[in-house]
Structure 1
């Protein structure tokens, strides 16, 4: 039985609005912190399918979100492509060898690194209530490539942008390889039971317009086309963070089923400028969820009202912060669930 979230992603303007939050399974939850203390580091948790399934389900049990987002990481794709991956305490992820130093052809693929993620999806689906939607995801090629080239995240992705300008053919080969693996990876998640998938392009906002067309729109369009051909019933959400005024072109040219909006987007502008009837997702500032109070209610209501006339999935403009008080999440969900427009 399709749930409220899946119906909305398929184009129904349903009320009340479905809600889930990016990074809803994670460090702000005491039950997550307890499990991580027991199990160890982040990557071992991702590769312990039973633990990863438990983490995916924790926010569903506590809050009853309409969607369960797979507990994993966007860098599983380069890990499967043959780069080494580690998460350093206080520093974040590191990939090696860096592709600014080594050729793509130097990597030896390890496709079996994807299998435990599929098992996590299967375990979640077996325990998920029928009216909740299982959400799979992958990083979009540009964002994944920035980590593969530089070996780590950066504020402006300068090393990867310079590499793409300096040797566009080599960078195109990296993007193409990521596209191929991502199609297979999302397909595997869907076979395992994912009912909708999201493409995270966290660093899309760092590109000039012509580069955005080449490195964001074109590869995401290729992924959408391939997944839709194989799984026409599975909605695809595109989330190009920082895209700004390029969002309408992204929506038209990638043909995603729904568009995620970050917190810098004026919802009134988006409601007017995006293709009519396109489901949207977002876009409350995550900092409001930390601060709580009357302003949280006011700004959440503003988002709901702006998208009253189109299908809308309530979400944040990016991931939930680790210092977010649990009671503020409850406050937000109470408002969203009681809103009828």
Structure 2
């Protein structure tokens, strides 16, 4: 067992029940920090920042220096995988990412593979791993195949992923080929991150909640299990966190059938139900509402206490139920850390 005092987050991901849950926040490196906004202003667009290893390493480390989180999450984006598969990627000012050509109108086989586009990410990992505080666990990540596919098919994000769901129903074989290509590249991508120095990885399935139970089994659970099996074979000591946002009542099946080592729970899930329904002893991550963090004060304190109490006796990583929002006051983040750690 990893020594809790040496790496508390990694210890919990490997099954240790901590008196004080380790803490990190999704999107903790980002727009709510003035130092991030300043650096992004210097570098220009998001992609130029994310593919500059020195700059991306600096962004990864900014919240560690400021707050002392127990985990550092690699600064990158889930769309690095489709970019490496040959789609063009841009982040326009004031709009979400765009991928071209959109696969709803084009063929996967017509894309020109560009795996070298991932090399700056590995360089970022090596740079961070060389200087990260020894106590801090380094987390890598990728998007899960379903969520990545929604962007590849539609060319952009959408509210209900209807275009991609239509595609999956209308051309199951064609959509399966897209999912398989994403899964294969994700295995190599996460393996490369691990080889470069990350100590655990998270699979983000941000849009899993839009699927029917049957489609969830086919496009979320099955490809995730493929990735997890391959990574466990290559890196048996590296924990994998699965985060199927919006899965709700399908969470227990996801936890049992994918083989992930830990499961992230979003803010819509009652933590008491999650504790009772998920496999005993399985590490759970979550699930403070990001809006409670913005609210602050007694509202924040009560929400934190409820999450911590619900997962008492289980390996628990304290986190948000999704990413930190850009208008989050820094003093509220400091209050949350102090509240969680007051149990020491």
Indicate the TM-score class for this superposition, using the shorter chain for normalisation.
over 0.9
- How many residues matched? 340
- The alignment partner of 2:242 has SS state of strand
**1:170 paired to 2:174:** yes
The residue correspondences of 1:87-166 to structure 2 (distance < 5 A) are 87-166=91-170
TM-score, normalised with respect to structure 1? 0.99
In 2, the alpha carbon distance for the partners of 1:229 and 1:62 equals 36
Q: Which residue of the partner structure matches residue 303 of structure 1?
A: 307
Which residue number in structure 2 is paired with residue 81 of structure 1? 85
Q: Which position in structure 2 is the counterpart of 1:201?
A: 205
Give the Å deviation of 1:15.
Answer: 1.9
- Are positions 1:5 and 2:9 aligned together? yes
1:226 is matched with: 230
How far off is 1:218 after superposition?
Answer: 0.2
Task: Find 1:28's aligned residue among 25, 32, 35.
Answer: 32
Stretches of structure 2 lacking an aligned partner (at least 5 in a row): none
Which whole-Å CA distance do the structure 2 matches of 1:167 and 1:223 have between them?
Answer: 23
Shift of 1:89: 1.3
Shift in Å, 1:306: 0.2
- 1:31-46 aligned at under 5 Å gives the runs 31-46=35-50
**Partner-residue secondary structure (3-state), 1:318:** coil
1:236-255 aligned within 5 A:
236-255=240-259
The two structures, once aligned, show a CA RMSD in angstroms of 0.7
TM-score w.r.t. the length of structure 2 is 0.98
Pick one of 16, 19, 22 that aligns with 1:18.
22
Aligned equivalents of 2:338, 2:174: Cα separation in 1: 50
Which range moves more in the overlay, 31-40 or 239-248? Answer: 31-40
| Distance in 2, Cα, partners of 1:179 & 1:129 | 32
3-state DSSP class of the match of 1:170?
helix
| Unaligned ranges ≥5, structure 1 | none
Q: Of the candidates 276, 287, 291, which is equivalent to residue 287 of structure 1?
A: 291
Counterpart-to-counterpart distance in 2, 1:81 and 1:128: 30
